[in-house]
Amino acid sequence: MSDHIDIAVNLIGSALESNLDTVVAEAEAAGVSPLIVIGSSLAESRQAIEACQGYPGKLYATAGVHPHHASSWNESSYDENRALCANTCVVAVGECGLDYNRDFSPRDKQREAFAAQLKLAVELQLPVLMHERDAHADFLAILKEYRPHLVDAVLHCFTGNRESLEAYLQQDIYLGITGWVCDERRGQELAEIVPLIPDDRIMIETDSPYLLPRSMRPKPKSSKNLPKYLPYIAEYIAGLRRQQPDQFAARTLANSRRFFRLDALP
């Protein structure tokens, strides 16, 4: 049994893709296994599934369309996404949601793709892994429409304020916390409100290769974040919550296994 599960790793289409063996092995040696590989487009989700097939029990995948790629969502996307989710290594629909910070896709297309993927998660009774940035009001409105019928939902890489935290907790969703909380410049507000997340609604992630924890010492030579750094993030968050690191690790591990229903998988 591992100590941690990294619920969001961008293995495909990133700097990690060419070095999968090492990334997976080093994570496992650090007590981080399995890794949940994010699918950000239908094509990337297919690649994530292929990667999982080479590391059974060590990699699982999500299948979906990130708001950055929402422009690609069309009449066939729903059925294509459903077919991808039929793979046994797919443990959640997503990454889906809204991102009004960069607006890489028109906002109406983002809302359309997000709602469609929540509908799919309801149909398949799969958990959904979500993304929200600078789109709280619209995101919450769409989420509320589907939440009563969703089996489970997590907002990964949560970086919001106390008001948004309380609103999301009212929807009884999980929140994924990254090394953003270790950043003394951008993560101060998050560090202050992380203790408010109930024990049974918090999960941890690296979102690697992004968001290398700035407070790590000695500082890694590369700016590339890696799943093997998750224990550091976990210990840092435990300190903010004034919890024993081993107890916090056990709680987030149990939350992640329950959310992704890993104990029920072959």
Containing domain of residue 85, as a range?
4-264
What does the alpha-carbon distance between residue 92 and residue 105 come to, in Å, rounded to a whole number?
Answer: 23
pTM (two decimals): 0.96
Here the CATH number for the domain that contains residue 42 is: 3.20.20.140
Tens digit of each residue's pLDDT, the chain (266 residues): 579 999 999 999 888 988 999 999 999 999 999 999 999 999 999 999 999 999 999 999 999 999 999 999 999 999 999 999 999 999 999 999 999 998 999 999 999 999 999 999 999 999 999 999 999 999 999 999 999 999 999 999 999 999 999 999 999 999 999 999 999 889 999 999 999 999 999 999 999 999 999 999 999 989 999 999 999 999 999 999 999 999 999 999 999 999 999 988 76
Tokens linked to 98: 């809204």
Taking alpha carbons only, the member of 186, 188, 199, 194 closest to residue 237 is 194
Q: How many domains does the chain have?
A: 1
